[in-house]
Each structure stands twice: as structure tokens, then as C-alpha cells.
Amino acid sequence: MVERRCAGCWNIKDRNELIKITNTGGNVVINPNSKIFGRSAYLCYNKTCIEKALKKNKLDKFLKTSIPSELKGQLLDEL
């Protein structure tokens, strides 16, 4: 069991229970199958954690790049 920390609520969960967002050198993508390598951040599958991470720009800080607005909308629409 591999555990990761949610960027929104800061709780530790199993990696399979979290959404993985990866920065592949300037291109930020949702990485559901962990096949893409790069700097990554994780979020719980609930709207509160996603909104909290986006509001406080936590994903920007963890991924060391700005998150495109299309990806922000995609994250909120996935739930």
C-alpha cells in the first residue's frame, strides 16, 4: 500500500483513493493510471478538497507551475 497526502485536506490516504495531477515539464495533466512521470500532487475525490486546493493555489505551489483554467474546470466537473 502506497500512501500519499491530499493537497486539499492534508490527510494521508492510499494512492488509489486520490486524483493524481502531474506536471510533465510545463504541461499539467490529470494522471489516472500513473503512467506519466513528473512532479505530482494528489487530491481526494471530493469537491471540498479540490476547491480548497484551487482557492489557496496549493496545486500551483506543489507542481511549481500555474494550473490552466481548463484543468481546474475539468477537476470540478469530474465529480
Tens of pLDDT, residues 3-21: 999 999 999 999 999 999 9
Strands 12-14 and 3-5: antiparallel
Tens of pLDDT, residues 53-67: 999 999 999 999 999
All structural domains of the chain with their residue ranges: 3-78
pTM: 0.90
Alpha-carbon gap, residue 13 to 56, rounded angstroms = 21
Strands 28-30 and 12-14: unpaired
- Comparing C-alpha atoms, which of 66, 59, 58, 61 is closest to residue 26? 66
Task: Check whether 77 has a pLDDT greater than 90.
Answer: no
Cell numbers representing residue 24 in the block: 510533465
Regarding the domain delimited by 3-78, which CATH topology (the fold level of the hierarchy) does it fall under? Hypothetical Cytosolic Protein; Chain: A; (3.30.1230)
Give the percent of the chain with pLDDT over 70: 99
